[in-house]
Chains A and B, each alone.
Chain A
Amino acid sequence: MSAMIEIVGLGKWYGPTRVLTNCSTQVGKGEVVVVCGPSGSGKSTLIKCVNGLEPFQEGRISVDGVSVGDPKTDLPKLRARIGMVFQHFELFPHLSVIRNLTLPQIKVLHRSADEAKEKGKRLLERVGLAAHANKFPGQLSGGQQQRVAIARALAMEPIAMLFDEPTSALDPEMIQEVLDVMVALAREGMTMIVVTHEMGFARKVAHRVVFMDEGEIVEDAPTADFFVKPRSERARLFLSKILQH
């Protein structure tokens, strides 16, 4: 597998506070990597560095051969090729569901309105929300909004997808519908980095699990190994806490 996303020696500070220390990992094409760890461990910051939403001071990240930290890199152009799904969905509340899907296609990819709409409708159908195309985000449930957000990212035909705790803000009964979409996506061979506490999802589709604590990557192991015999004490402790039910 060739590395689609490569993170080497990543370090980041917020002012004097160090939030990421020497993080290195890579994600191959078609690989699904779950990032987990206690809150405040830098998971979200790490994936926000991948598409340059967060600047970093040390190390380098390259996505499909393009260096993210290079000031000469056209970040908007790079970001258009990386889909991102946020904890709080971040649909544009003033636009209808279908407009949420077509606006970026038209403004960023310069697709025609008809083409964008066609594509948008197909993706809404795929996430099971075709009937809601003309509603506004505020009229949908959290799970539905997150599925729209995934469809919006997919409409850009990304080469990789980043998920930043996509189910953390959802009511328990809505988590599954979002995970189902993500599982289907993973099985189709999408390259994915998923920050999540959903260990069931990790077990099901992740190729590797990256465990972070205090801004460091403590463990980076194939999924089976991580769950069966985590090497670090911190990972063991974390797993025992979240898997006790």
Chain B
Amino acid sequence: MFSNFDFDVIIRSLPYLFYQGMTFTLLLTALATLGGIILGTLLALMRLSGFALLTVPAAAYVNLMRSVPFVLMIFWFYFLVPYIGQWVTFSPRPMQVGAFASCLVTFTLFEAAFFCEIMRAGIQSISRGQVAAAQALGMTYPTVMSYVVLPQAFRNMVPVLLTQTIVLFQDTSLVYVISVTDFLGAASKVAQRDGRLVEMYLFAALVYFVISLAASRAVGLLQRHIAIIR
């Protein structure tokens, strides 16, 4: 059945697929995860602060992000960010924003909403007694959070955070809507150019599958390694 397929096309396009495509995909995944966790943690702290001035905007942000299709967000940001940049910097022309920067901003902002909810659950999983003990020792709120609550919340949530990262890794393929070449985009280009759709898409699927599976296995191992001894 594979007799008239040409799997050699994969070998020939490997450097292009991985150097250009996969580098973009992994870089975007890594940076957006990092940015998303930092921003998400801040949002979570806002949501849990108990001050309406902080909880309301944070909750509104999270709910907005979670109720808009991601593809729409990518589109929207790509066309809007230059104008927001213009507005912020009082420049006469729309700001020049590269496709990568635009994607990074979109993914970070979007994922932050999901990481916020994960970190919120993580922070709430830490008993009030821990906070009381830290306060009783004279620690201020920032110290309690950074040395007692967040390290524990983060460890409890590592499996979920990394699972979300795997989802993010797969979602990076959505950048095709603004014609950015990620791994899937690169595979797609080769497929169309050489008329080898089945081969290339099969290969792309396989690569995503292997990486995601390996990553989720690694999460399991890591989880055992960093679990807090109780």
Contact = CB atoms under 8 A, between A and B. Distances in A.
A103 B130 contact: no
A79 B137 contact: yes
B125 interface: no
Contacts, number: 73
A234 B133 CA distance: 33
B132 A76 contact: no
Interface in B118-149: 127, 129-130, 132-140, 143, 147-148
A238 interface: no
A137 B229 CA distance: 8
Contacts of B152: 92-94
B155 interface: yes
B229 A93 contact: yes
Contacts of B134: 92, 104
B228 interface: yes
B193 interface: no
Given A107-B147, A138-B229, A90 B129 contact: yes
A104 B228 contact: no
Interface in B187-228: 228
Given A94-B151, A94-B155, A103-B147, A156 B133 contact: no
A169 B217 CA distance: 38
B230 interface: yes
Nearest to A87: B129
B228 A51 contact: no
Interface of A: 48, 51, 53, 76-84, 86, 88, 90-94, 103-104, 107-109, 136-139, 149, 152-153, 156
14 contacts: A51-B136, A77-B138, A79-B137, A80-B138, A84-B136, A86-B133, A90-B129, A90-B133, A91-B133, A93-B152, A108-B137, A108-B138, A152-B137, A156-B138
